[in-house]
A and B are shown apart, each in its own frame.
Chain A
Amino acid sequence: MNTDDGGSRRDWTGWLFLLPVSLPFVMFVLWPLLHGVLLSFFDVQLTETRFIGLDNYRALLNDESFRYAIRNTCLFVVLVVPTVWLITLTIAALVYPLGRLAQSFFRLAFYLPVVAGSVCLAMVWLWIFNDQYGLLNYLSGDLFGGRVDWLGRTDTALPSLAMVVISWSLGQPVIIFLAALAGIPEEVYEAATIDGAGPIRRFWHVTLPMLRPASLFVVVTQTIGVFQVFVVVLLLTVNGGPAHATRTIVYGMYETAFTPPYNFDYAAAQGSLLLVVLAAVAIVQFRLLGRQTHWN
């Protein structure tokens, strides 16, 4: 037996365990990711594939719809991520002191939209946003000057979609924050109280910093999730909204690759840029919020 300590073994048995997994991993996860980037440098036709270098990227730079896709995706992130973080943090902070039962109840309440899923929610919001008989127009009455075509106006379409995305993004962060709050030891609060800090001071100087790992996780996962917004755009607006108002990067990829004329390589170029942008965003977020996770 080659072991240095009692439990872990040092030899190639590990590879045996990995073997069954490595095939699907390489074939369906690793290679497609690489291939996705590679494809962007070729022109894929029905009968042949030829190398075209950076032509796709040059075309992307001049593509107005892609510029809108980037703008809209960033807008989504700016609208959704801070809002979700703030709302869920507030909810968790308000719920936590109310006791176990309240925590369970509200956790469930905010998680149910997550359980319903984006398709169901998109379908009901399509009805709610309807300009003729939708609930929102009825409730807002004359507040905005009569009936508003929420999904049809270039200035309201994207915020409307953002609202839908927020509604199903609240569940997971609430759970995370509640669990994180439970992990803060009482002594820390006691120390702060002894030092004379009031409830608000305590929250700002004790709770928030201790919630940093959870906040980081929430912000990163929410950002990654928002970057991939697709279902709402497909189901609520037509071809990316009036005048590209709701077109996102992933929707653009779908439209490019899976509607005629099935421009696979052009979509791959868009995907590669998405990859680069997301990687950059992840790096920035890690730097800004500090690497407090244990990767080991």
Chain B
Amino acid sequence: MKTGWTHWLAWGVLGIAAVLALAPLYWMISGSFKLQSDAMQTPPEWFPDHPTLENYRNLFGAESLWTGRRPTLRWMCNSLLVAVSISMGAVMTSALAGYALGKQRFPGRHLVFWLVVATMMLPRQVALVPLYLLTVRMGWMDSYTGLIAPYLCFPFGIFLMRQFMQQLPDEILAAARIDGASEWGVYWHVVLPMSRPALGAVAIFSFMGAWNEYLWQLIVTNRPEMYTLPVGVSKLVSTLTSFDLGLAMAGATVAFVPMLAVFAMFQRYFVKGVSVGALKG
């Protein structure tokens, strides 16, 4: 490990970069504790001189938490419900498909795998309008089904699981079969437990993807009660009309916290997942 001036220079540069990256987040959180008039002051207050919880009270207080124009708590629950459902669905479907493509030999498996890779690389926005029309015709507009259904299948997840499962040692599977396990038994009792890291990565990625899926959630929801957290919070800002800065920052902070919590709990899986995806593929 080198010490000396290059070492300190590296720390310095990195420190500045980190500060720059984190500054907007700090600004967002500190802004949420400022009143509108304080937030608009120049020179800006680096630390709120008169910190207040008024914005949060506004965000969670005014009307009902569950219905009405700004049901913030409901937005959080919507986001959680949608993201967790999609995540579970993605894990289940990806594991099944990944196992089939990775360990089962059947005619057509190469074609299917290339289909999966192709759909993974192609921009999802092409499918936006057809999915929307499908959602309308099925009567799923403005419903949880509409928010969840189109994302149950996660091609990137299938890809990850396939890559991972392919590397599982065949001997263990053969041993299980010799012991009399059915195909399903092999899958459930042998393969899945061994695939935990990859399953975790798929769960995390699909959860994050679902949480951040702004465009789809925007066009599928109409009623404020059905908004997910990012959609609802984004309605607090506007480019055409003036808006309450403090309230908007409070909303943004509230949208940040759940993801922060998830990240804090599953940090290991995040990092692992990113590496698995990037380097094993």
Contacts and interface: CB of A to CB of B under 8 A. Distances in A.
The answer on direct contact between A and B (beta carbons under 8 Å) is yes
Interface string A1-40: 1011111111111111110110011011111110111010
A17 B279 contact: no
Contact of A274 (B2, B123, B275): B123
B214 A119 contact: yes
Interface stretch (B47-55, B56-64, B168-176): B168-176
Contacts, number: 307
Contact of B106 (A12, A32, A110, A295): A12
A138 B43 contact: yes
B127 A120 contact: no
Contacts of B211: 117
Nearest to A28: B150
B183 A6 contact: no
A5 B166 CA distance: 14
B194 interface: no
A272 B126 CA distance: 6
Contact of A213 (B134, B151, B279): B279
A109 B19 CA distance: 8
Interface in A125-158: 125-128, 132-133, 135, 138, 151
Interface string B82-104: 00000000000100110111011
Q: For the complex, would chain B's binding face be called helix, strand, loop or mixed by DSSP majority? A: helix
Interface size class of B (residues with CB under 8 A): 35 or more
Nearest to B261: A115
Contact of A235 (B106, B132, B149, B234): B234
A124 B212 CA distance: 17
Interface residues of A, number: 109
Q: For the complex, would chain A's binding face be called helix, strand, loop or mixed by DSSP majority? A: helix
Given A127-B27, A176-B274, A24 B153 contact: yes
A97 B127 contact: no
B18 A106 contact: yes
A248 B158 CA distance: 30
Contacts of B214: 118-119, 230-231
A77 interface: no
Interface stretch (A55-63, A167-175, A186-194, A201-209): A167-175
Interface of A: 1, 3-18, 20-21, 24-25, 27-33, 35-37, 39, 44, 87, 91, 94-95, 97-99, 102, 106-113, 115-128, 132-133, 135, 138, 151, 167, 170, 172, 175-176, 179-180, 183, 213-214, 217-218, 224, 227-228, 230-231, 234-238, 250, 253-254, 257-258, 264, 267-268, 271-272, 274-275, 278-279, 282, 293-296
Given A3-B174, A95-B14, 9 more contacts: A25-B116, A97-B10, A98-B14, A112-B25, A115-B256, A127-B39, A176-B279, A224-B123, A293-B281
